[in-house]
Amino acid sequence: MSYVCLKCNKEYDNPTLIRNFPKAARRECPNGHVLATRVLGATKVRSYSSSFLLAVGMTFAGLVAIGLFVVVVLVQSPQVLGVDWRGAAGPVSLIAVLAFIAQAIALLVMSGNFAKGSPAVKKLAASAKGEAHGMLATLAVLLVIVLIRRWSSF
């Protein structure tokens, strides 16, 4: 598994581990640069398909976790701290979906920037584009399921 340093514009096969650092950015190049970005996470070279599947799984897991939060906290226990939270379920879900869409757009912009970079950095374009498309595909499937449920109730 190889990693790319965006500051050195080089690819490294076995970068050193950093102790006491967040899990997504635990590796650094020989010059001391962290091999991670805020949006993409670790700058690991992956194929489009593996990035796509990883993003589908992570987006689905995130949406399930947010959905459980909405159902358990906001709908099932409406009187928390004396406030009725049932009306907040829709806006919280919408904010979560918009956050995933914003991250997917940021990944698409990053993939375009990576494609213009050095040959080592160009290898990250497929990974960023795969993650963005995976997120958008998961959100599209979720939207279709919601619309089918909404239309079938009429």
* Same structural domain, 66 and 142: yes
Q: What is the pLDDT of residue 107?
A: 92
What's the rounded mean pLDDT across residues 100-123?
90
* Same structural domain, 121 and 105: yes
Residue 126 to residues 2, 23, 43, 45, Cα–Cα distance (Å): 14, 22, 12, 8
Query: Is-contact 64 72, C-beta < 8 A?
Result: no
* Same structural domain, 22 and 69: no
Q: What is the pLDDT of residue 63?
A: 87
Q: What is the pLDDT of residue 68?
A: 83
* Same structural domain, 62 and 90: yes
* Same structural domain, 28 and 102: no
pTM of the predicted model as reported, rounded to 2 decimal places? 0.80
* Same structural domain, 40 and 61: no
How high does pLDDT run on average in the chain?
83
Q: What is the pLDDT of residue 102?
A: 92
* Same structural domain, 31 and 81: no
Q: What is the pLDDT of residue 143?
A: 85
Cβ atoms within 10 Å of 89's Cβ, excluding its own: 17
* Same structural domain, 51 and 41: no
* Same structural domain, 147 and 82: yes
Number of structural domains the chain divides into: 2
The domain in which residue 59 lies consists of 47-152
* Same structural domain, 55 and 27: no
* Same structural domain, 52 and 103: yes
Contacts of 139 (CB under 8 A, 6+ apart): 59, 97, 100, 101, 104
pLDDT single digits (tens) 121-139: 898 999 999 999 999 999 9
Please check the confidence at residue 116 and state whether its pLDDT lies above 80: yes
* Same structural domain, 34 and 61: no
Q: What percent of the chain has pLDDT over 90?
A: 28
Residue 28: strand pairing partners: 16, 34
pLDDT single digits (tens) 28-69: 888 888 888 878 888 888 999 999 999 999 999 988 888 887
Token code pair at residue 43: 């700058």
